[in-house]
Structure 1
Amino acid sequence: MRILTASDRSLLVEAADLDEAMRLNLAWDGVPGVVERIPGARTVLVSFDPVRTSAAALAAVLEATELDAEHVPHTREVTVPVRYDGEDLVEAAGLLGVSAEELVNRHLTADWQVAFSGFAPGFGYIVSSDPLFDVPRRSSPRTRVPAGSVALAGQFTGVYPRESPGGWQLIGRTDAVMWDIDRDPPALLAPGTSVRFERADRDVISSSAHSAPSENRDDTDDRRRVGARRADDTPDGLGFPAGAAVEVIRPSMQLLVQDAGRPGHAALGVSASGAADRTAMRDANRAVGNQPGAAVLESVGGATLRFHGDGVAVVTGAEGDLTLTDANRIARNIPHATPFATVAGDELALGHPTRGLRYVIGIRGGLAAASALGSRAADTLAGLGPDALAAGDVIAIGNAVAGAVDPLVQPRELPASGDLVELDITLGPRDDWFTASALQTLTTQEWLVTPRSDRVGIRLHGGVPLERATQGELPSEGAVTGAIQVPADGQPVLFLPDHPLTGGYPIIGALTDRCLDLAAQLPPGARIRFRIEEGQS
């Protein structure tokens, strides 16, 4: 067992093989101080609460683990009907040196078990004891893989829960629903599940289940599902829900409902997500007297909102011109990070940010959007939580009030485009995959924040790419928010809250927890210099 630093709040434990990683993951259930565990192909990522334990103390506990079982027990059994007509079936068989029919027959007769989850909610990495199944990924990933596609990569079989990009070899498809938020458990293929594939009759697989949604479809059901409704789609006939609400007049580039997120669901392939700037969310909620994790709005760029009913609101996070216009069209400027009263008909206009990137709008009572797995956070990668808000959406105000309004929010200095920002990092877990000169470049070169950035990650650009000492891809392993992942081109990607739980590119380092909120406010054009946290060499 080798234990590596993955961040200032997580360790990456290397196991001898996949089976040992699975058994270690199960053995560490209930270890004091552990917040989350993400098993990988040969590793387990263990995140911990620094208030309850330290990295050194936790490492000692993990190293002392004794494994009783020789193999991972099967938790339940699932049968998945497959129509073996995938685009890559013949090519995959050729790569393995067998006929397509033999590949299918061995896929049907092998004993399969879900090793771990990742990539997307409900995506299980399924492994068998048949040595045949070790297939390279496609040299060029597809931009669109239909939901229900059954695929091979490395030693794994997987089923795509939803349409997404992907580089696995497609051998078939199924109508089995991999992920259903209303099912218990939501993931059909959870870790430990025994899986048996069977041939599906040709008329079982419906083409409609895998077709793209119509651009003209009625989205009323979807909007109700996420808790946002059109202003003309309410049963009271008044044009907006009864009681206090907020209506979107003009959305920003991305206007989302966010809260403290949904930690604790990594075993289902679900990341914590939540507000990108947690400080701004907590400041907003404290300012208007809400519970700390009450749902807020997160806006990338300017937007206009209309208030229905009287209340109190505040804008934190990014800075820019804030204007409140009443029903008589009288406008006044609103100070940043200071709570203000609203009355029915008031419209709040947020200008383009001059500092920072993401506004956070807190409203007394919080937003009463529908929740998923105990959170109202919109996870843009997983497709969980409320959809991005559009013009005409109306969201009711909730009852998350905790106390009095607090006007004393501490000021923060956020960067503007062109500013240089220093961010503290820890090295690891895969810094040994890079040359000594690459490690020096990481911390001495300025990295530009490019426009190719979102809640999944920030794509950085430097004049000198990071050079690897070790080539190839890692077996899939866990990644934390703030991880600095380095693709083959040597230009890093800095992971934000909606990042995939697992990946195969090496991670050279990770931001310290206290720098995550600042990273979420980096606008395109800002420059970064990474600084290794004191005490780590």
Structure 2
Amino acid sequence: MSVTAVRFAGPRALLVELSGLDSVLALHARLTADPLPGQLDVLAAASTVLVQCDTRAHAVAARTAVERLELEHAPAGTGKTVEIPVTYDGEDLAEVARLTGLSPEGVVNAHTGQVWTAAFGGFAPGFAYLTGEDGSLEVPRRATPRTAVPAGAVALAGGYSAVYPRKSPGGWQLIGRTESVLWDVARPDPALIRPQDLVRFTAVRESLGLAVSAGSAEPAGSAGSAEPAGPARPADAILAGSRPVPAGPVEEEPAPPQPHTAGSLEVVSTGLQSLVQDLGRPGMGNLGVGSSGALDVPAARQANRLAGNSPGDAVVENLFGSLALRACGDQVLAVTGARVQLDIAPSGRRPAQDAPFALLDGETLSLGPATAGLRAYVAVRGGIELAAELGSRSTDTLSGLGPAPMEAGFILPVGHAGSGHVVGTPEPPVLRVCPGETALLRITPGPRDDWFGQAGLDRLTGQDWVSGSASDRIGVRLELPGGGAPAGGSNGTPTGGAPAETPAPLERIRDGELQSEGTVAGALQVPPSGLPVLFLADHPVTGGYPVIAAVVPEDLPVVAQLPPGSTVRFVLVDPDTLLPAGSAGTSNPPERYRA
């Protein structure tokens, strides 16, 4: 049992290739029980383990440590046993029988007659890849995936079985269905099946309605009652009241500190999309849960800093502006990120961005359309106090975790702000995009650049790309400029002086399929079309297409602010210095594209 290769997946993550699934499970168990310094997450897949670290230095040290490890066998019997009743009436049962040479009854007997082990998670929260005791049910995926597989579908593909925890696209062969709930955040442990658990399937003629939920969840998002409104006060008095005042005579029994703000913000208009985001829920990849969180982290942190909050407090992430919020109780807000005009009705005030301002009880703040950038961030002093799921208030658009996308009438409860919530002073904007200019994104190759060769990397970096209109929080879909117009500057010569060529998709130099493996935010995954998808915070934790390179974490805030139609140019850099490969420090990207 051994490590066969260690590849970098971006500057701060490792993709460790191993000789077999037993080695994968052994390494995963080792790193889970005894994490490496700076280790943030470890994700097992069919033949790889993805190790994510907090810094480049820790990732380099982790590579040395992993290469020196001597792995024992994977631990056995460390999980619980889960029994899942199944009605075997799947649409692909007859096809599976044909592929395996068994009768439909033989397929059912083979599925129920062995104990399945949860090897690893991925794809979606609660989705577990189960390995059997023999290979009698090894079948290929469907030639054409379904656009929607229902929750509870029991399926086979390759050497694995699984149960779909929620409705989603999928290409596995469906043999039955269960009413067992695979994922429920109302339970103390949301995942019914975790890695290393043992699973027994039992055949039933009718759905049994197995109750696995540990009680219903309390309603989330209900606003607390606002304190009675006092006399109207000027906006500057609200801001002044946010700062500490000199202490007076000490009372024998001082009253508990009263919060400056209470009440809520009511959503009057959401614009194109408005979501609640914080810094996400990292470290849950093995359950199929991505980190999510604000896409432009510096802008979200700045908004919280200006409002006097902690960096991880929840904010509103708004797409393209046109958001309107009405104050219930006097509030202090700050708006950062994309450039928008701020208007307060009925007073007619126009506060500046990147600075704290007061929104008095009953006033409405309106964000105009974005004129630069894509996402604006709104923080309120005291933070947004919606219920957290798995330790975060972030809305994950892929998994469905967190608060629902906002609608008109949505109430955002505001947390209590004490003396520690000191508002900041105006700051320069952190936005790093300029309308009409090419965005330079630094990348490091791998982990699967060998599927494309040097020619593939040259094409990736030697031509312009355009952010597509179908992009979202999951990823930016890259397109060719002008339907294939020549790349490069006004003289038709790309950066670097190479002769101009007509833009074209990336081409593989290897045949076959890649087994699903862990991915990171910033990964440039290349589907068969040859047009890369740049993964963002809500990306799936595993993917089955090769990743040619990864955008460095420091440049992901730039990606978060690129409107559709933006021109992008990729620059290969040294992962240690983040300067262009072979650079002596004189040709690094312009200042606005640096960290």
- The alignment's TM-score, normalised by the length of structure 1, stands at 0.91
Identity within the alignment, % = 45
**Does the C-alpha gap of structure 1 residues 88 and 418 become closer, same or farther in structure 2, counting only changes over 3 Å?**
farther
Deviations 1:387-422 (A, max 9, x none): 001000111101366442112323234435543100
Distance in structure 1 (CA, Å) of the matches to 2:207 and 2:74: 42
Distance in structure 1 (CA, Å) of the matches to 2:413 and 2:60: 47
Structure 1 residue 307 corresponds to structure 2 residue 327: yes
RMSD over aligned CA atoms reads 2.2
- Give the conservation status (yes or no) of the 8 Å contact 1:181–1:372: yes
**Does the C-alpha gap of structure 1 residues 83 and 422 become closer, same or farther in structure 2, counting only changes over 3 Å?**
same
Structure 1 residue 364 corresponds to structure 2 residue 394: no
Structure 1 residue 396 corresponds to structure 2 residue 401: no
TM-superposed CA distance for 1:359, in Å, is 0.7
Structure 1 residue 191 corresponds to structure 2 residue 195: yes
Amino acid at match of 1:180: D
Structure 1 residue 251 corresponds to structure 2 residue 256: no
Deviations 1:213-235 (A, max 9, x none): xxxxxxxx99x733156xxxx88
Equivalence map 1:520-535=2 (5 Å): 520-534=560-574
Deviations 1:405-450 (A, max 9, x none): 1123232344355431001111100000114322111111111001
Deviations 1:357-391 (A, max 9, x none): 11100100000011001111111111111000100
Identify which of 261, 265, 268 aligns with 2:284. 265
Structure 1 residue 161 corresponds to structure 2 residue 165: yes
Deviations 1:265-311 (A, max 9, x none): 22221111111111011000110110111010001122111111112
Residue aligning to 2:242: none
**Does the C-alpha gap of structure 1 residues 386 and 107 become closer, same or farther in structure 2, counting only changes over 3 Å?**
same
TM-superposed CA distance for 1:472, in Å, is 2.8
TM-superposed CA distance for 1:31, in Å, is 2.2
TM-superposed CA distance for 1:115, in Å, is 0.7
Q: What SS does structure 1 have at the residue aligned with 2:332?
A: strand
Amino acid at match of 2:20: D
Amino acid at match of 2:13: S
- Give the conservation status (yes or no) of the 8 Å contact 2:338–2:431: no
Distance in structure 2 (CA, Å) of the matches to 1:235 and 1:407: 30
Residue aligning to 2:37: 32
Identify which of 44, 49, 68 aligns with 1:44. 49
Structure 1 residue 147 corresponds to structure 2 residue 151: yes
Equivalence map 1:16-95=2 (5 Å): 16-29=19-32, 30-50=35-55, 53-69=57-73, 72-95=76-99
Amino acid at match of 2:569: R
Distance in structure 2 (CA, Å) of the matches to 1:195 and 1:187: 13
Equivalence map 1:111-150=2 (5 Å): 111-150=115-154
Residue aligning to 1:379: 396
Identify which of 460, 465, 480 aligns with 2:520. 480
TM-superposed CA distance for 1:263, in Å, is 1.1
Distance in structure 1 (CA, Å) of the matches to 2:76 and 2:271: 48
Residue aligning to 1:330: 347
Distance in structure 1 (CA, Å) of the matches to 2:383 and 2:291: 20
- Give the conservation status (yes or no) of the 8 Å contact 2:23–2:73: no
Residue aligning to 2:440: 422
Distance in structure 2 (CA, Å) of the matches to 1:311 and 1:56: 46
Deviations 1:59-81 (A, max 9, x none): 11111212233554441111111
TM-superposed CA distance for 1:202, in Å, is 1.3
Residue aligning to 1:316: 336
Structure 1 stretch 22-31 or stretch 363-372: which is displaced more? 22-31
- Give the conservation status (yes or no) of the 8 Å contact 1:12–1:46: yes
**Does the C-alpha gap of structure 1 residues 337 and 235 become closer, same or farther in structure 2, counting only changes over 3 Å?**
closer
Distance in structure 2 (CA, Å) of the matches to 1:122 and 1:91: 26
TM-superposed CA distance for 1:142, in Å, is 1.4
**Does the C-alpha gap of structure 1 residues 386 and 478 become closer, same or farther in structure 2, counting only changes over 3 Å?**
same
**Does the C-alpha gap of structure 1 residues 274 and 157 become closer, same or farther in structure 2, counting only changes over 3 Å?**
same
Distance in structure 2 (CA, Å) of the matches to 1:432 and 1:113: 33
TM-superposed CA distance for 1:103, in Å, is 1.5
Equivalence map 1:442-453=2 (5 Å): 442-453=460-471
Residue aligning to 1:8: 11
- Give the conservation status (yes or no) of the 8 Å contact 1:355–1:415: yes
- Give the conservation status (yes or no) of the 8 Å contact 1:418–1:525: no
- Give the conservation status (yes or no) of the 8 Å contact 1:324–1:346: yes
Distance in structure 1 (CA, Å) of the matches to 2:221 and 2:373: 28
Q: What SS does structure 1 have at the residue aligned with 2:276?
A: strand
**Does the C-alpha gap of structure 1 residues 375 and 442 become closer, same or farther in structure 2, counting only changes over 3 Å?**
same
**Does the C-alpha gap of structure 1 residues 400 and 496 become closer, same or farther in structure 2, counting only changes over 3 Å?**
farther
Distance in structure 1 (CA, Å) of the matches to 2:316 and 2:151: 30
TM-superposed CA distance for 1:237, in Å, is 13
- The alignment's TM-score, normalised by the length of structure 2, stands at 0.82
Distance in structure 2 (CA, Å) of the matches to 1:408 and 1:267: 41
Distance in structure 2 (CA, Å) of the matches to 1:235 and 1:162: 35
**Does the C-alpha gap of structure 1 residues 176 and 145 become closer, same or farther in structure 2, counting only changes over 3 Å?**
same
- Give the conservation status (yes or no) of the 8 Å contact 1:435–1:467: no
Distance in structure 2 (CA, Å) of the matches to 1:451 and 1:291: 34
Structure 1 residue 285 corresponds to structure 2 residue 296: no
Residue aligning to 1:339: 356
Amino acid at match of 1:524: P
Q: What SS does structure 2 have at the residue aligned with 1:121?
A: strand
Aligned residues: 512
Distance in structure 2 (CA, Å) of the matches to 1:331 and 1:517: 32
Distance in structure 2 (CA, Å) of the matches to 1:368 and 1:112: 41
Q: What SS does structure 2 have at the residue aligned with 1:333?
A: coil
Amino acid at match of 2:208: V
Amino acid at match of 1:461: E
Q: What SS does structure 1 have at the residue aligned with 2:571?
A: strand
Unpaired runs of 5+ in structure 2?
229-260, 481-502, 576-580, 583-595
Structure 1 stretch 27-36 or stretch 485-494: which is displaced more? 27-36
Amino acid at match of 2:9: A
Distance in structure 2 (CA, Å) of the matches to 1:139 and 1:89: 15
Distance in structure 2 (CA, Å) of the matches to 1:416 and 1:99: 63
- Give the conservation status (yes or no) of the 8 Å contact 2:110–2:137: no
- Give the conservation status (yes or no) of the 8 Å contact 2:265–2:414: yes
**Does the C-alpha gap of structure 1 residues 295 and 333 become closer, same or farther in structure 2, counting only changes over 3 Å?**
same
Distance in structure 2 (CA, Å) of the matches to 1:481 and 1:313: 29
Equivalence map 1:206-225=2 (5 Å): 225=219
**Does the C-alpha gap of structure 1 residues 247 and 141 become closer, same or farther in structure 2, counting only changes over 3 Å?**
same
Structure 1 residue 501 corresponds to structure 2 residue 518: no
Q: What SS does structure 2 have at the residue aligned with 1:410?
A: coil
Structure 1 residue 489 corresponds to structure 2 residue 529: yes
Distance in structure 2 (CA, Å) of the matches to 1:250 and 1:115: 45
**Does the C-alpha gap of structure 1 residues 397 and 235 become closer, same or farther in structure 2, counting only changes over 3 Å?**
closer
Residue aligning to 2:454: 436
Q: What SS does structure 1 have at the residue aligned with 2:219?
A: helix
Amino acid at match of 2:37: P
- Give the conservation status (yes or no) of the 8 Å contact 1:137–1:167: yes
